[in-house]
Amino acid sequence: MSEETVVAKSAAELTAAGTFLVDAYLDWVKEQRIPIHEDFGLDLLAIKTEPWDWYGARGAFAHTHGRGDFMANYVVEVPPGGKTRPVKHLYECFIYVLSGQGSTTLWLPSGEKQTFEWGPKALFAIPLNCQYQFFNASGSESVRLSCTNDAPLTLNLYHNRDFVFDNPFKFPDLQVKPRHTNSMFGRFFPLQKTLTTSNMWGNLGFFGSGRNDDGEDKKSFACGFGGVCPAGRRHPGAVG
């Protein structure tokens, strides 16, 4: 039996050949063909965005130095009167509204379709692997959304985009059941210091801000995926 000689390759040679330190997340990022901003700090209201085919809107990646291989951020910009394409993904993602007014439609694991509205400084999470879509309610101003996510962890763990972006599995156990119902705001949860959660973002769904017509502060409520608590009037399409 002949013996084959194994020739050790340098790290530079392995990297050049694409077989060493493969970063599935960065490969996906580069293929999106939108700006990739990287610095110690970024103004998400000012960074340049370009058309993003996947969302059907504009977008840009906002990476900070030292971010590691766990978390990342991207910005989605929806033009006046526009909407994104429905998308879904296996990575966790929470949204902070940088500017603008709009709404989000979710297709929940139960088959229920739910829509809620939001405004500037609202914060909400996308249920794991649920299809969702953003809408801009303004006919004159764009919407900017900051999307913080663990896409680097997920893509680098599975190395399979179909598994991450086209996975049919549903997570019904993560759909929190509402504790109370309000005729104006729908189903919601009292926000407690010891609130038990079941996903990395808390499974809260939505944090509202501001006051309702009766002057009641809405900041003390958080909503589960079974209901919504918007930073303005509840969308008529939401299930209450």
Predicted confidence at residue 28, as pLDDT, reads 97
Q: Which residues pair with 145 in a beta bridge?
A: 76, 97
Location of structure tokens 């210091």? 193
More confident residue, 110 or 184: 110
Residue 15 and residue 30: Cα distance in Å, rounded?
Answer: 17
Q: How many CB atoms lie within 10 A of CB 95?
A: 21
> What are the structure tokens assigned to 21, written together?
């330190």
Residue 132 and residue 113: Cα distance in Å, rounded?
Answer: 10
Residue pair 88/131 in contact by the 8 Å Cβ criterion: yes
More confident residue, 112 or 232: 112
**Does residue 207 fall inside a structural domain?**
no
Q: How many CB atoms lie within 10 A of CB 221?
A: 19
Residue type, 185: F
Per-residue model confidence as pLDDT tens digits over 49-97: 999 999 999 999 999 998 888 999 999 999 999 999 999 999 999 999 9
Predicted confidence at residue 110, as pLDDT, reads 86
Q: Is 19 a residue whose pLDDT tops 70?
A: no
Instruction: Give me the half-sphere count of Cα atoms (radius 13 Å) on the Cβ side of residue 220.
Output: 5
Nearest alpha-carbon partner for 149 in 197, 229, 94: 94
**How many domains does one find in the chain?**
1
**Does residue 100 fall inside a structural domain?**
yes
The rounded radius of gyration (Å) of the Cα atoms in the chain is: 20
What confidence tier does 15 reach under pLDDT thresholds 50, 70, 90? low
Tell me the residue range of the domain where 83 lies: 16-170
**Does residue 33 fall inside a structural domain?**
yes
> What are the structure tokens assigned to 63, written together?
């990476």
CATH number at residue 104: 2.60.120.10
**Does residue 38 fall inside a structural domain?**
yes
**Does residue 227 fall inside a structural domain?**
no
| DSSP string covering 18-62 | T-SS--HHHHHHHHT-S-EEEESS--TTTS--EEETTTTEEEEEE
**Does residue 126 fall inside a structural domain?**
yes
State what percent of residues in the chain have pLDDT above 90: 58
**Does residue 213 fall inside a structural domain?**
no
Residue 135 and residue 127: Cα distance in Å, rounded?
Answer: 17
Predicted confidence at residue 96, as pLDDT, reads 97
**Does residue 98 fall inside a structural domain?**
yes
